Every structure is written in structure tokens, then in C-alpha cells.
């Protein structure tokens, strides 16, 4: 009986121990779950942080590339600020080709003198010489004579000479002005190549290249060398070879009547971009009465009349 009670008690005790053991092990199991969940969360957080950092890095790189693409270079800024800036010099290079950029020479520069068109028939009264067209080297008109008019230059001066046909027409013009009560004086007619060279170089030395090219012709391109041109002035105001000459009675008469004698005002006001020279109301050029009448009526330059202006 005692043995039976002993075994019963032992059974109860063992059963209680097993329950305690199971109860103590359960939290450990729960803790394991928490640890596993926590581990996954940290791993996922690390992954999220890495992805976020990677995304931010990619976005940053994209923004930097976009910033570089849109960045305005100093050259582009300068171009926008000064769209009419001068072209770069010859030692600069083209950014696209890497080749040196070509610098355009001024149309009347020494480098372009050999590129000028040479007049084919320098003896024609319809010839045109200007900054793009020159007389043949060594040309001298074959029929220079001295018209019977009043001159400012002393006797024997080549400036008193003109080609024969133009000289006769000048005599008629002076006579016509005389009938209107006006007195002209011939100032400067024919000039040789050498004489024009001296005039041009003196102008450059005294006034600079830009001024010289505006008011004086390079040797070989001057109308005076053709023997068909003459500078005229009022006998009372010989020194007035300037735009104000048009304000004198002689200047007004000349502008309105020169064409009747075969002459035109060679360098018209407002046509400087065509002729290349400033307005010269005193400079007349012989082209023949028929041509002169048409040129006067249409108020054209020789370049426009003969189709030599683009």
C-alpha cells in the first residue's frame, strides 16, 4: 500500500515537472520568432537603405549629367551677348572640325588686290572701276588732251588732261553753265598710277587706313586713271570739294544738268554701300549722253546700271 502511494506521488511530481519544463520552453520559442523577425527586418532595412542610396546615387549622377549638358560654356555666352562679334583670327580653330577657321580679308586689303577683276576693255567709255574692279597694269589712256576750260591746276599739270571725247563734253558743260550765269573751274582730271599711289599712301599716313579706303582709291582702281572723270568746283569757292558743294548754285546746277552733256555724279548720296565711297557731288564721270540720261532718270550708280552690283 505504501509502495502504491509512493508511486502515485512520484507520478504526480514527475507530471508537474514536465508541465514546468514545457511552460519554460514556450517563451524561448516565441523569442526565437522575434529574433527571426527582427533579423529579417534589419536585413530588409539594410536592403532598403542600399536601394535608396543606389537610387539617390543614380539620380545624382543623372542630375549632374543633365547639368553638364545644359551648362552654358563661356563661348556660347559670349556668342549670345555679342552675336555680331568679329570672327576669330586665323590661329583659332573650328570646334567641330578642329581645322583653323578662315578669316575673311577686307575687300580692299592688300591681300585681295590680286583677286580684283581686271577690266577687259579699259578704252570703253562704259568701263567701271571700283574696289572690286581695276585697270590693267600699266594702263594709260591713248588719247589724253586738255579741254579748253578754266583750271585750278597750273599749266602742264597732268590733272588738266582728259580723254578726247570726255574733254569735248566738258567744254560743252562749262559753256552751258556759263549761259546760266555760273562759273566752274576744273580741279582734277587724269591721274597716273604712280600719282594715285602717292595720294593714297599720303592719305593712309595722315588719316589712317579706314579713312583712306573710304575717301581715296587704291592705285589701279581710281576713275581718274581712266581719263573719263573730273572734279569740278565753283570758281568762287574752289576749295569746297566736300558734300556742302551741293548747297552752292554750281553744285545744284551740276546735279540737275550734268547728264545733258554725258556726265553723271559718280558717287551718289545714300549709295555708299554700292560704290564703296562717300557722297561726292563734285566728281563727274563721262559715260555718253544716252547712258547718262537713263542713269540720271533712274538715279542709279554705274554698278547698278551695268549690272555689276549683286
Catalytic residues: 280
Distances (CA, A) of 38 to 30, 46, 77: 12, 12, 58
Residue 195 grid coordinates: 600719282
For the chain, the straight-line distance linking the first and the last C-alpha, in angstroms and rounded, comes to: 143
Distance CA 270, CA 37 (A): 93
Distances (CA, A) of 26 to 17, 21, 32, 59: 15, 9, 10, 49
In the chain, the DSSP E strands lie at 117-118, 133-134, 144-145, 162-163, 184-188, 229-234, 263-267, 280-286
Residue 109 grid coordinates: 586689303
Residue 215 DSSP SS3: helix
Q: Give the rounded distance of the alpha carbon of 153 from its chain centre.
A: 42
CA Rg, the chain, in Å?
A: 49
Amino acid at each position: 500500500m505504501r509502495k502504491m502511494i509512493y508511486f502515485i506521488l512520484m507520478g504526480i511530481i514527475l507530471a508537474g515537472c514536465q508541465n514546468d519544463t514545457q511552460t519554460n520552453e514556450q517563451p524561448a520559442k516565441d523569442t526565437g520568432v522575434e529574433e527571426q523577425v527582427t533579423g529579417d527586418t534589419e536585413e530588409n532595412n539594410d536592403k532598403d537603405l542600399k536601394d535608396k542610396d543606389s537610387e539617390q546615387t543614380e539620380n545624382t549622377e543623372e542630375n549632374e549629367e543633365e547639368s553638364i549638358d545644359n551648362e552654358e560654356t563661356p563661348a556660347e555666352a559670349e556668342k549670345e551677348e555679342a552675336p555680331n562679334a568679329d570672327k576669330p583670327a586665323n590661329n583659332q580653330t573650328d570646334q567641330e572640325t578642329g581645322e583653323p577657321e578662315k578669316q575673311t580679308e577686307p575687300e580692299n586689303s592688300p591681300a585681295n588686290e590680286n583677286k580684283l577683276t581686271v577690266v577687259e576693255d579699259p578704252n570703253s567709255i562704259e568701263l567701271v572701276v571700283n574696289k572690286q574692279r581695276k585697270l590693267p597694269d600699266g594702263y594709260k589712256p591713248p588719247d589724253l588732251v586738255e579741254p579748253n576750260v578754266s583750271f585750278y591746276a597750273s599749266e602742264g599739270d597732268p590733272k588738266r588732261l582728259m580723254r578726247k571725247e570726255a574733254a569735248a563734253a566738258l567744254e560743252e558743260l562749262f559753256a552751258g553753265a556759263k549761259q546760266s550765269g555760273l562759273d566752274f573751274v576744273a580741279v582734277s582730271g587724269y591721274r597716273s598710277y604712280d600719282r594715285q599711289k602717292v595720294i593714297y599712301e599720303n592719305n593712309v599716313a595722315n588719316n589712317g587706313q579706314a579713312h583712306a579706303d573710304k575717301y581715296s582709291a587704291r592705285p589701279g582702281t581710281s576713275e581718274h586713271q581712266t581719263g573719263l572723270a573730273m572734279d569740278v568746283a565753283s570758281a568762287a569757292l574752289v576749295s569746297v570739294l566736300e558734300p556742302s558743294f551741293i548747297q552752292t548754285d554750281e553744285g545744284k546746277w551740276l546735279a540737275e544738268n550734268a547728264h545733258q552733256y554725258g556726265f553723271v555724279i559718280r558717287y551718289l548720296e545714300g549709295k555708299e554701300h554700292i560704290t564703296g565711297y562717300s557722297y561726292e557731288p563734285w566728281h563727274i564721270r563721262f559715260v555718253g549722253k544716252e547712258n547718262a540720261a537713263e542713269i540720271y532718270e533712274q538715279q542709279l550708280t554705274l554698278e547698278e546700271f551695268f549690272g555689276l552690283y549683286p
